Structure 1
Amino acid sequence: MKKKIIPIVIAIVLIIIIGGVTFGSRILEKYSYSKERADLNVYYGITGSQEAAIVLQDEIVEEKARISDGICYLDMATIHKYLNDRFYVDGGEGLLLYTLPEDIVRNSIGSSVKETAQGSEELGYTAAIWEGDTLYVALDYIKQYTNFSYQLFTDPYRIQLTTEWPSYEVASISKNTQVRVKGGVKSEILTDVQKGDQVSVLEQMETWSKVKTADSVIGYVENKRLTGIRSEQPIPVTDYQEPEYTSLTRDHKINLGWHVVASAGGNDTFNSVTANAGNLNVISPTWFKLCDNEGGYTSFASADYVQKAHDRGLEVWALIENIEYKDSISMYEILSSTTTRQKLIDSLMNDLITYGIDGINVDFEQLSMDCGEHFVEFIRELSVACRKNGKVLSVDNYVPRDFNDYYDRKEQGIVADYVIVMGYDEHYAGSKEAGSVASIDYVEDGIAQTVKEVPAEKVINAIPFYTRIWETTGDGISSQAVDMVTAEQFISNHGITAEWDETTCQNYGEYTSGDSRYQVWLEDADSIKVKLNVMENYGIGGVAEWRLGFEKPEIWDVIGEYLDK
């Protein structure tokens, strides 16, 4: 009997032992630390030997840097997105430009020399290089005009970029351990850290914390391996101080009237269009009209006109526009060439100085999106010339919309003296429906959106002195723009009773004749007064009017009340 029991006991013991070993192995497997290491090239998304990951602050971004001859380079899109959007590339002329308040820094792409008004400087490295169609610029060159710090680490290449220096949490490592891809003992190892190493604590969880090592590896460490968690305040980098873009803003509200001059003879209408405008302080004659793709323009500038204006106490800000010959010129061709921009700017400055003109008003309309960056560079470069010569620079803009944000009002507000909102053409020739030229909501939205990006004292809102008479028939909609007197005569001649419309803050009238419906949203003293009240509420730099000669005399009294506030 005893002999029979012993084998059974042995079997049971073996089963227990085997089960224990199996269970123990499973427990060990579950709770033991994985020794598997992550492929750091895969982790950082690095696909080439010259590619470097970018750690911006405490985040690995999708963009990559390039390492060439030991120099760190970023592509232009990444530079604009994260560091500085003032760098400009002229691919056609092989130039990298950076515009300062009174200078334009030039570098020929592929060269180690930069050129300024003071002369040439050898950098000791190539500032910019092409890789296919992508331009890369050296971080050391960017750093000359941008405040940030960077460090390059190897195995694999990665760059730590720091542009802000807020306080942050740090901790010391209490025991040799590993930084892992995720929070968990089975997660792959990114790197090893030693007792006494310091890490930044980015996020604390129940048992693991997200950390960044001194060499910018971001991963997870067990909380039990962290000690002495504390807050530290880094010392900000101040290698580069942004220069001051001085402005010629006036200490009074601007009251600018555009004077349409279509020929040299048009200058003779100066006296008639200013006869009632006693509180006008700036006149902008439409003198300069782009006419070719080499930066040429027609000019009706007149020294006699300028003298008359100055005798009346008026500044003259001559307008340059691109509409007159729009079908025969390419704004992209004009604006994208550094040589052409410079020729245009030099010609304008020569005319401003020759005729004693006080400033320039840029009215480049209907620009395509691909012209945006070149237009902004033109405004920057023009601002340098204006600043050096004491000339006022103002720029005309549409009411802000998503589809025209490439006009970059924010940058205009930095480099230009005045940013003018053309607060009209809400409904225009070609509109699919009849409507107001400038309803109060449209006007206020234009001002409100602009002052979000431009200092209020630099913003001028332009108001319309014209009204559109709309006709709707079975064949469609048409309209004509008329002056205030003609609009009121239309109302009177057709026995229309105009009534105040609270939605648009305008006097509205309509009548029907046959199958035609006529509608008018009047611009008059009542509508202008409401617009000016909104402008006063926003504390902007003044008012402009399109156009002189279309107003009734009493309008100037309404504008005078606004100017006196």
Structure 2
Amino acid sequence: MKKKIIPVLIAIVLIIVVFGIAFGGKIIDRYSYSKERADLNEIYAIQDETDTAIVLQDEIIEQRAKLLDGTYYVALSTAQELFNDRFYEDAGEGLLLYTLPEAIVRTVVGTSEVSIGEENKSFDYILSRYVGDTLYVALDYVKQYSNFSYEAFTDPNRLQIYTSWDQRQIGYIKKDTKVRRLGGVKSEILEDVKANDKVIVLEQMETWTKVKTADAVIGYVENKRLRDIAPELPIPVNDYQEPEYTSVTRDHKINLGWHVVAGVAGNDTLSEYVANTRGLNVISPTWFKLNDNEGNFISFATQQYVDKAHDMGLEVWALVENIEYKDSIDMYSILSSTTHRKTLIDNLVNEALQYGIDGINVDFEQISLDCGEHYIEFIRELSIPCRANGIVLSVDNYVPTGYTNHYNRKEQGIVADYVIIMGYDEHYAGSAEAGSVASINFVEEGIKQTVEQVPANKIINAVPFYTRIWSTTGTDVSSQAVGMAMAQEYIKAHNIETVWDEETCQNYGEYMDGDTYNQVWLEDAQSIGVKLNVMQNYNIGGVACWRLGYETPDIWDVIEEYLAK
């Protein structure tokens, strides 16, 4: 009997052992550390031997760098986005420019030389070069005008870049271990780290911590492998000292009136248009009209006008515009060419110096999105001779909206002396519906958004001396722009009873003429007074008026009151 039981027991034991080994193997396999290594080329999405990943702060970003002839380059768009948006490409003339307060830094693409005004300088690497159609700029050249740090690593190629140096958490490796792709013993190994290696602690979890190693590998280590986690404040890079873009701003509020001059003979109306004004201290004649694509313009400037204005105690800020001949000029052709911009700038400054003009008022409207970078480069470059010669540079702008962001008001506020908000045309010729030219919410929103980007003392808000008379027949909407006096005559002629509209802060009137619904939101001393109060609340640099000759005399009472505050 015993002989029969023994084999059975042995079989049972063997079965238990086999199951034990199998189960134990699974347990061991489940909790043992994987030795599989991740493909770092895949992690960093390396495409070829020149391709270089960028770790910005503590994150691998989409933008890439290139290692070319031992020098690291980034696409111009990356340099503009991450470091400094003043770098400018003239693709047509093969130039890379950077505008300083007193000079333009100029380099020909594919060379190692720069010119800064009359000074020439050479570097031991190519400063910029094309790869296909994309312009790449050497990081070391970008650092000449930007504060950031970068460190390069290989296998695979990657850059650690810092543009800010906020307090961070650091820790030290307690004993030799692995940095893994994810938190878990089965995750692939990214890198080996040694005891006492310093890491940056990015995120602490229950059993694993996300870290970044000294060579910019981001992964996870077990909490038990970390020690001495503590805050650290990095030392910032301040190698580049931003130069000051000095301004020719006045120590008093500006009261500017635009004087529409359609020809040289129009200059004779100066005395007539300013006779009834009070507190006016700047006159802006519409003198310069772009008329070709090379940077030339028609000028109605005369010495007699300037002298007479000065005798009246008025500064002259001559306006240059692109509307009169808009159908025969191409603003992109003018502004995207360094040669054409220089011609335009030289012509404007020469006119100012020849006649003793005090300022230049740039009124370039309907600038397309793709022309935005060229437009602001023009403003930067124009500011250089204006700054050098004490010529006030003011720039006219629409009320801020999403589709006018490319006018770059923030940069205007740095390089120009005054940023003028054209605080009108809320509803305009061609609007699909009738409405106010400048309701109070529209005006205040324009000022509020501009103050967020431009110093308040550099902001001038322009008010309308006109209104629109609207006629709606069925779905057809039309309007006529008229001055204040004519609007009052219209009200009287049609026996329209006006009421104060709290929403727009304007006197409003309406009447029916057959099937036509006629409406008018008046601009008058009362509505202008409310706008001026809002302007005073924001403590901006002054008021501009479009246009002289359209106002009624009582307007100057409220403007004079505003100037005295």
Give the alignment's TM-score, normalised by structure 1: 0.99
Aligned equivalent of 2:469: 469
Q: Give the corresponding residue for 1:499.
A: 499
Q: List structure 1 runs of 4+ shifted beyond 3 angstroms.
A: none
Match of 1:487 in 2: 487
What residue number does 2:23 align with?
23
Encode CA deviations 1:410-454: one digit per residue, 9 max, x unaligned: 110111000011000001111111110000010011101111111
Q: Partner residue of 2:291?
A: 291
In structure 1, the partner of 2:121 is: 121
The secondary structure found in structure 1 opposite 2:175 is coil
Aligned to 2:563: 563
Q: Per-residue deviation at 1:123?
A: 0.7
1:146-180 CA distance string (max 9 Å, x none): 01110111000000111111111111111111111
What is the match of residue 78 of structure 1? Answer: 78
Distance 2:452 2:107 in 1: 34
SS at match of 2:244: coil
1:259 offset after TM fit, Å? 0.4
Give the aligned partner of residue 244 of structure 1.
Answer: 244
Letter in 1 for 2:280: L
1: CA distance, partners of 2:459 / 2:59 = 38
Q: After superposition, where does 1:293-442 map in structure 2 within 5 Å?
A: 293-442=293-442
Whether 2:480 is the aligned partner of 1:455: answer no
Structure 2 residue identity aligned to 1:514: G
Distance 2:169 2:301 in 1: 64
Which structure 2 residues correspond to residues 253-272 of structure 1 after superposition, within 5 A? 253-272=253-272
Separation in 2, partners of 1:210, 1:173: 13
Pair 1:148 & 2:166 matched = no
Q: Supply the RMSD in Å over aligned alpha carbons.
A: 0.7
Q: Kindly provide the amino acid, as one letter, of the partner of residue 466 in structure 1.
A: Y
Distance 2:316 2:57 in 1: 49
- Distance in 2 between residues matched to 1:8 and 1:257, nearest whole Å: 113
- Give deviations 1:24-46, integer Å, cap 9, x for gaps: 11111111111111110110111
Q: CA deviation at 1:278?
A: 2.3
1:367 Cα offset (Å): 1.0
| Whole-angstrom distance in 2 between the partners of 1:138 and 1:474 | 62
Which residue type is aligned with residue 271 of structure 1?
S
In the alignment, does 2:221 pair up with 1:187?
A: no
Mapped to 2, the partners of 1:235 and 1:513 lie a distance apart of 74
Q: Which residue of 1 aligns with 2:538?
A: 538
Q: Which amino acid aligns with 2:420?
A: I
In the alignment, the residues of structure 2 paired with residue 294 and residue 171 of structure 1 have an alpha-carbon distance, to the nearest angstrom, of 61
Task: Classify the secondary structure of the residue corresponding to 1:266.
Answer: helix
The answer to whether structure 1 residue 7 and structure 2 residue 22 are counterparts is no
- Mapping of 1:102-181 within 5 angstroms? 102-181=102-181
User: Following the alignment from structure 1 to structure 2, what is the Cα–Cα distance between the partners of residues 410 and 475?
Assistant: 40
1:47 aligns with 2:76: no
Q: What are structure 1's unaligned runs of at least 5 residues?
A: none
Q: What's 2:223 paired with? A: 223
1:320-340 Cα shifts (integer Å, max 9, x gaps): 000000000000000000000
The code of the aligned residue for 1:244 comes to E
Q: Distance in 2 between matches of 1:48 and 1:423?
A: 53
Task: Point out the more displaced range, 227-236 or 330-339.
Answer: 227-236
Q: Deviations over 1:173-212 (max 9, x none)?
A: 1111111110111111111100111111111111111111
Normalising by the residue count of structure 2, what TM-score does the alignment of the two structures yield?
Answer: 0.99
Give the letter aligned to residue 525 of structure 1. A
Q: Counterparts of 2:477 and 2:199 in 1: how far apart (Å)?
A: 69
1:206 equivalent to 2:210? Answer: no
User: Quick one: which amino acid aligns to residue 98 of structure 2?
Assistant: Y
Amino acid at match of 1:399: V
Q: Which stretch shifts more, 231-240 or 348-357?
A: 231-240
Distance in 2 (CA, whole Å) between partners of 1:118 and 1:71 is 28
Shift of 1:291: 0.1
| Paired letter, 1:379 | I
Q: Give % identity.
A: 67
Kindly provide the amino acid, as one letter, of the partner of residue 345 in structure 1: I
- Deviation of residue 475 (structure 1)? 6.1
Q: Give the aligned partner of residue 524 of structure 2.
A: 524
1:212, 1:321 → 2: CA distance? 54
Deviation at 1:369, TM superposition (A): 0.7
Cα distance in 1 for partners of 2:495, 2:471 equals 16
What is the deviation of 1:229?
1.0
Partner of 2:63: 63
1:118 offset after TM fit, Å?
4.0
- Cα separation, 2, equivalents of 1:443 and 1:512: 29
How far apart, CA to CA, are the structure 1 residues paired with 2:278 and 2:54? 61
Instruction: Give the distance between the partners of 2:401 and 2:107, measured in 1 at CA.
Output: 35
> How far apart, CA to CA, are the structure 2 residues paired with 1:170 and 1:291?
62
Q: Residue 230 of structure 1: CA displacement?
A: 1.3
Once residues 248 and 404 of structure 2 are traced to their aligned partners in structure 1, the CA distance between those partners, rounded to angstroms, is 26
CA distance in 2: counterparts of 1:163 and 1:477, whole angstroms: 53
SS of equivalent residue, structure 2 residue 125: coil
Q: CA deviation at 1:474?
A: 3.1
How far has the Cα of 1:362 moved from its partner?
0.3
Letter in 2 for 1:57: Q
CA distance in 1, matches of 2:169, 2:370: 44
Q: What amino acid is aligned across from residue 476 of structure 2 in structure 1?
A: G
CA drift of 1:128 comes to 0.3
**CA distance in 1 between partners of 2:141 and 2:80 (Å):** 14
Q: What secondary structure is seen at the aligned counterpart in 1 of 2:375?
A: helix
Change over 3 Å in CA distance of 1:28–1:475 after alignment to 2: closer
Q: Matched residues in 2 for 1:24 and 1:302: separation?
A: 100
Give the length in aligned residue pairs. Answer: 565
Q: Distance in 2 between matches of 1:29 and 1:475?
A: 77
Greater shift after overlay, 224-233 or 343-352? 224-233
Which residue does the alignment assign to 2:100?
A: 100
Distance across 2 between alignment mates of 1:179 and 1:467 = 70
Which amino acid counterpart does residue 211 of structure 2 have in structure 1? V
Alignment correspondent of 1:279: 279
Three-state SS of the structure 2 residue aligned to 1:370 is helix
